[in-house]
Amino acid sequence: MHVAEAIASRKSIRAFKPDPVPRVVVEDILTRAARAPSGGNLQPWRVYALLGAARDELVRRVTEARRQHPMGESPEYLVYPPNLAEPWRTRRFRIGEAMYEALGIPRGDMSARLAHITRNWQFFDAPVGLMFTIDRCMQQGQWADLGMFLQNVMLLARAHGLHTCAIEAWAMWHRQVREYLSIPDSEMLFCGMALGHADEAAPVNALVSERAPLEEFAVIRESL
């Protein structure tokens, strides 16, 4: 698959089919993804891949823990800046509204919206759940490196005919994830990711997110 095709066909998938993804495919994706560049070649990423019963048990534990904390505990880092300014605030609002529209959930139906949020913690039924961590000593540059690793995973998934959804909502459950996977305190959970076969019939997967035009984010100069 051409890289441009992988990029164009990648989108966040929020309904997966139960078809399993073989361990060898997960290993192949992660091995190739580690060709991502990183400043000083630190390769600061770490990933925990959960398949089969190991994935199901984490989902079960979090489902149980939701009785105490229906919306999760709290993340270890600020997922968004406080008081998000424009244009980011509107972008965030618009994708949320577009997603609930695709799901057929009306604006005021808070219980249906909350029910959808809990789907994040089921990996949207994907058979593989990934957890990405980074050492606490790492700085902004290494978080960017981690992002490139994540993007590689998402694009390599496309090359296998698979889809993904990065899931920051998992940061809300960092204690549960840490305990379950025996993640050392020196590591921080960045996000989870669902990996599997898209349910093409699911209306939510028809959503195509907007992008700002080139002039809005790029400055290109040729002449003095």
Binding residue (CB under 6 A) for ligand FMN from 169, 188, 202, 204 = 169
Give the binding range for ligand FMN (CB under 6 A) out of 7-15, 22-30, 34-42, 181-189: 7-15
Instruction: Indicate the Cα dihedral angle 53, 54, 58, 61, nearest 10°.
Output: 60
Interacting span for ligand FMN (CB under 6 A) from 31-39, 107-115, 167-175, 198-206: 167-175
- Which DSSP state fits 190? E
Best CA proximity match to 194, nearest among 138, 222, 136, 153? 153
How many residues bind ligand FMN (CB under 6 A)? The answer is 12
Report in angstroms how near the CB of residue 10 gets to ligand FMN at its nearest.
7
Bridge partners (DSSP) of residue 188 are: 134
Among 102, 168, 175, 181, binds ligand FMN (CB under 6 A): 168
* Residue appearing with tokens 């998992």: 170
Q: Tokens representing 17?
A: 């089919």
Q: Which stretch binds ligand FMN (CB under 6 A): 6-14, 22-30, 136-144, 214-222?
A: 6-14
Q: Interaction with ligand FMN in 100-139: which residues (CB under 6 A)? A: 120
C-alpha to C-alpha distance for 188 and 138, rounded to whole angstroms:
10
Integer-rounded Cα radius of gyration of the chain:
18
Nearer to ligand FMN, 54 or 95 (CB): 95
Say how far apart CA 158 and CA 12 lie, in whole Å. Answer: 12
Q: How many Å apart are CA 153 and CA 147, to the nearest integer?
A: 10
Q: Select the residue interacting with ligand FMN from 14, 46, 174, 178 (CB under 6 A).
A: 14
Pick 22 or 209: Cβ nearer ligand FMN: 209
Residues of this chain, 175-204, that bind ligand FMN according to CB under 6 A? 191
163 forms part of the interface with ligand FMN (CB under 6 A) = no
| Burial category of 167 from C-beta neighbours within 10 Å (exposed 0-12, middle 13-18, buried 19 and up) | buried
Nearer residue to ligand FMN within complex by CB, 29 or 169: 169
Tell me the closest approach of the beta carbon of residue 37 to ligand FMN, in angstroms: 18
The two most distant CA atoms of the chain are separated, in Å, by: 62
Among 6, 25, 30, 95, binds ligand FMN (CB under 6 A): 95
- Give every CB contact of residue 221 below 8 A, 6+ residues apart in sequence: none
Determine which residue in the list 6, 11, 59, 135 makes contact with ligand FMN, applying CB under 6 A.
11
Residues that bind ligand FMN (CB under 6 A): 11-12, 14, 95, 120, 165-169, 191, 209
